[in-house]
Amino acid sequence: MIADQETKLIRILMKQNERSAIRQLSKENILADFRLATLSRQLSIIGRREVLTGKAKFGIFGDGKEIAQIAMAKQFKEGDWRSGYYRDQTWMMAMDLYTPLEFFHQLYGNTDRGVFTGSGGRVFNNHFSVPNINPDGSWKDLTKQKNSSADISPTAGQMPRLLGLAYASKLFRQNKDLHGYTSFSIKGNEVAFGSIGDASTSEGHFWETMNAAGVLQVPMAVSVYDDGYGISVPKEYQTTKGSISDILKGFESEEGKPGIKILKGKGWDYQGLVKLYEEGIALCRMDHVPVLFHIEEMTQPLGHSTSGSHERYKSSERLKWEEEFDPIKKMGEWIIDQKIATSEELDRIKAETANEAKEARKKGWEMFQSPMNIERDALVKIIGARKCQCHEEVKEASVDKITDDLVKVISPIRKDNFMAARKILRNVCESCNKADNLKVELHGWLKRNYATASESYDAFLYNETPTSVLNVKPVPPVFSDNSAEIPGRQVLRDNYDKLFTKYPLLVTFGEDIGYIGGVNQSLEGLQKKFGELRITDTGIREATILGQGIGLALRGMRPIAEIQYLDYLMYALQILSDDLATTHYRTAGRMVAPLIISTRGHRLEGIWHSGSPMSMLINSVRGVYVCAPRDMTRAAGFYNTLLEGNDPAIVIEPLNGYRLKEKMPDNPGEFRIQLGVPEVIITGSDLTIVTYGSTVRIAAEAAKQLAAHDISVELIDVQTLVPFDSHGIIVDSVKKTNRLLLLDEDVPGGTTAFMMQQILEKQDGWNFLDSPPRTLTGKEHRPAYTTDGDYFSKPSAEDIFDAVYEMMKEAIPHKFK
Ligand SMILES: Cc1ncc(C[n+]2csc(CCOP(=O)(O)OP(=O)(O)O)c2C)c(N)n1
Ligand SMILES: [Mg+2]
């Protein structure tokens, strides 16, 4: 929208605002807001005390930010989305998404999924989320609830996802084919609200997101809470000119140049903030203009967190100013000044909220503590029931001593109970055992309680509902006599063609994939056919491409985020690891973000275009499935499978396979490859080679050469690294060959070490080995440029031949010279 029109619209809105703001600011509303602010503050104060007295582990609170959040919450409608950070407790309470009791459940880390849907005790306090799926994995009606994506602690980590949440509204509005998806969006009228601290705007994610939002013109409303500090470091060290709104001025919309709208408010100015948010959000919602609210003069009365006091780094003048400009104090003064209420009335509200917070604390603590006490009592009862009075000298402590110590713990946690049970188990004497069955009883207690602990702390790394991609049944590619042999890129393209027809919610976006159809032409011509809203070029901004995908996936779309080369995924790795990979886990199974990341790697040319940093990936993205197809038919098969389930996954296409010819299946878009099922490419009897991706082809060549030397190799393509061989196909091979070579292009001790651990330890493969297992990998350095660089940096068919021959020679020296 051009600047003139925008100003006009704002003027109209402001006029409307004055009317509606006056309506909103009735005495009743104002006092309810004041009550909420004081209740929130009381929670912060008591919460801090709970940590300092040792009942809770860590606390970070929303004190000093209450009033702006109340003003903002007034504009948050059902269907809207939040992506914020740990200061947002008042905002969440104002939206009825967080109660004082839940505040304590989170603070103590209560793992009972029944009492609080936010996080199952898995994340710090004040990290919020609202479920986007039902317990059976089906989508909730997201337009009938106020939505919050799940917070993460890394500063500015909420920004890339925020972009995606806002971008979804654009797609739901502009793509008319999506107007029928009314449980996801009402024609894109939803605003994505974000919050961020002033210091966190120093992060690259913030700038990348703001730029992308300006380019995309999406309804993203970011509030910067400016309290002048990032822990102890003042904003002069964080922000050029010390003002985020000043330096963002170049982003502002101008005549004929759409950008962002910047609005400024003061953190203590209740009336002003109510108007400010009404005006800004109306513009954002109506015209999809990104808006930045710079909320200055905010305070932090209790200091950054429970990790230390702010008196260490704030001057006495600053502390005095913060006292004076405490937003609740200021609001109270305004209320009295406007004769809305007397100071006695306000004092009464404060006393009532202090009481309410105290009551919530008491109840929250009881609810947290009582299951632990019950667990302990059951344990003590088992031990107490034994008749044997053993007085044997034991190494650590006697059963009686351990039990006495446990009983003395005033507020036991599960760790106390388990430590005691496990130590006692070590000290059960022979006569205890004969007389009382104590050992059996203790084992039973541990088994039962470990099962519940595992539910609390281990479950939901991956989707466990019926929508899990692991439930998708395989469909083989069908070939007939007239199936054509075509370059791999065309297999992908023709498969995509079917997918875009079949799934209206499917979109893909990334660098160069729109107009030219991808650097490898795997989407050639498809933008023309399906339109720019579905196959979309983006800026070079990997972190926000990822975030864009996460936000879309949370809102029910089916995004494939395209990262041009695996080597550049590192720009997005933080978001991939911290955000996407933990979404399901950190919400205790309450949210899904079924984002598919498509990229390509392995052998091509040089240090930044042929990487296989697979161990970096698999070790940092558990929670995301990792597919490493050997060719494009396999890659297409994985996309087809993934779109039938609701899990995040990454597919790494083999970079050197786009031009190689493959037989085109007769059922594009339909054939599906099951995750976690390796494929035996060549059967053999002497030795098993396990590999994946581009090295499968090289190993197949080596196997041919070895056959000429009377060595029979069984070659297995693992296909997906996570999940890894769910059916024990590899160990079955090892049982037959008794020899194992793990092969890939990663660094030594990288993914081959992971595979070895899976096969030897998890599948018990070591039991069946007659020779020491070996790994053959790329070199420690990155692959050098040119074909020779590749030959000497990564395993070749000759390297594989030699490694296998060597193993056979060691095993049967008289045969292999
Ligand atoms: C990437 C990252 N670096 C450092 C931290 C540690 N840390 C937590 S909060 C914080 C300061 C954030 O300040 P600001 O953004 O102004 O928010 P405020 O706490 O003042 O509201 C820091 C450095 C972190 N969580 N993430
Ligand atoms: Mg700050």
How far is 511 from 650, CA to CA, in rounded Å?
17
String of DSSP letters for 558-570: EEEEE-S-GGGGG
CB of 103 closer than 8 Å to CB of 43: yes
- What is the atom index within ligand 1 of the atom nearest the CA of 227? 20
How far is 396 from 416, CA to CA, in rounded Å?
16
Whether the ω angle into residue 723 lies within 30 degrees of 0, i.e. cis, is yes
Q: Which ligand is nearest to the CA of 304?
A: 1
Q: Is the pTM of this model over 0.75?
A: yes
- Residue the block writes with tokens 């498969």: 495
How far is 453 from 220, CA to CA, in rounded Å?
39
Q: Which ligand is nearest to the CA of 64?
A: 1
- What is the atom index within ligand 1 of the atom nearest the CA of 60? 19
How far is 243 from 198, CA to CA, in rounded Å?
9
- What is the atom index within ligand 1 of the atom nearest the CA of 196? 15
How far is 386 from 8, CA to CA, in rounded Å?
83
Rounded distance from Cα 85 to ligand 1 centre (Å): 10
How far is 465 from 349, CA to CA, in rounded Å?
45
3-state SS, residue 314: coil
How far is 256 from 252, CA to CA, in rounded Å?
11
Position 222: which residue type? V
How far is 811 from 799, CA to CA, in rounded Å?
18
Helices 270-287 and 66-73 meet at what angle, rounded to 10?
40
SS3 letters across 83-108: ECCCCCHHHHHHCCCCCHHHHHHHHH
Q: Roughly how many angstroms between the first and final C-alpha of the chain, as a whole number?
A: 79
CB of 205 closer than 8 Å to CB of 159: yes
Sign of the CA dihedral with 85 first, then 88, 89, and 93 last = negative
Q: What is the CA radius of gyration of the chain?
A: 30
As annotated, the active-site residues are 542, 609
How far is 115 from 117, CA to CA, in rounded Å?
7
Rounded distance from Cα 298 to ligand 2 centre (Å): 9
CB of 298 closer than 8 Å to CB of 68: yes
Rounded distance from Cα 142 to ligand 1 centre (Å): 30
Question: Residue 771 has what pLDDT?
Answer: 95
Q: Which ligand is nearest to the CA of 65?
A: 1
Structure token pair of residue 428: 């059960």
In this structure, what is the dihedral angle of CA atoms 686, 691, 692, 693, given to the nearest 10 degrees? -90
Pocket-forming residues, ligand 1, beta carbon under 6 Å = 87, 153-155, 197-200, 225, 227, 229-231, 304
3-state SS, residue 304: coil
Structure token pair of residue 226: 């400016």
How far is 579 from 194, CA to CA, in rounded Å?
15
Helix (H) / strand (E) element for 274: namely: helix 270-287
Q: Which ligand is nearest to the CA of 197?
A: 1
Q: Which residues pair with 47 in a beta bridge?
A: none
Nearest to 737 by CA among 711, 776, 757, 698: 711
Helices 797-811 and 695-707 meet at what angle, rounded to 10?
50
Rounded distance from Cα 51 to ligand 2 centre (Å): 22
Position 719: which residue type? Q
Rounded distance from Cα 60 to ligand 2 centre (Å): 13
Pocket test for ligand 1, best of 231, 244, 296, 578 (most atoms within 8 A of CB): 231
Nearest to 104 by CA among 34, 44, 32, 33: 44
Pocket test for ligand 1, best of 200, 227, 296, 313 (most atoms within 8 A of CB): 200
User: Which residue, by CA, sits nearest to atom 8 of ligand 1?
Assistant: 155
Question: Residue 617 has what pLDDT?
Answer: 96
Question: Residue 420 has what pLDDT?
Answer: 95
Phi, psi of 53, rounded to the nearest 5 degrees: -95, 5
User: Which residue, by CA, sits nearest to atom 20 of ligand 1?
Assistant: 230
Q: Which ligand is nearest to the CA of 227?
A: 2
Position 580: which residue type? L
Rounded distance from Cα 227 to ligand 2 centre (Å): 5
Structure token pair of residue 784: 């050098």
CB of 283 closer than 8 Å to CB of 46: no
**Alpha-helical segments (H) within 191-269:** 204-216, 244-247
Cα Dmax for the chain: 103
Structure token pair of residue 535: 């196959």
Question: Residue 8 has what pLDDT?
Answer: 57
- What is the atom index within ligand 1 of the atom nearest the CA of 197? 15
Rounded distance from Cα 707 to ligand 2 centre (Å): 67
User: Which residue, by CA, sits nearest to atom 24 of ligand 1?
Assistant: 154
User: Which residue, by CA, sits nearest to atom 15 of ligand 1?
Assistant: 197
Q: Give the pLDDT means over successive 10-residue stretches in the chain (817 positions).
A: 50 55 79 98 98 95 98 98 98 97 97 87 96 98 98 98 98 98 98 98 98 98 98 96 97 96 98 97 97 98 92 95 98 97 98 98 97 95 79 68 93 95 84 75 94 95 97 97 95 98 98 95 97 98 98 98 96 98 97 98 87 94 98 98 98 94 97 98 98 97 97 98 98 98 97 98 96 97 94 97 97 91
Cβ-based neighbours of 321, under 8 Å, separated by 6 or more:
none
- What is the atom index within ligand 1 of the atom nearest the CA of 156? 1
CB atoms within 10 A of CB 555: 30
Rounded distance from Cα 325 to ligand 1 centre (Å): 22
- List b or e across 215-252, with b for residues whose CB sees 16 or more CB atoms inside 10 angstroms: ebbbbbbbbbbbbbbbeeebbeebbeeebbbeebeebb
Cβ-based neighbours of 418, under 8 Å, separated by 6 or more:
446, 449, 453
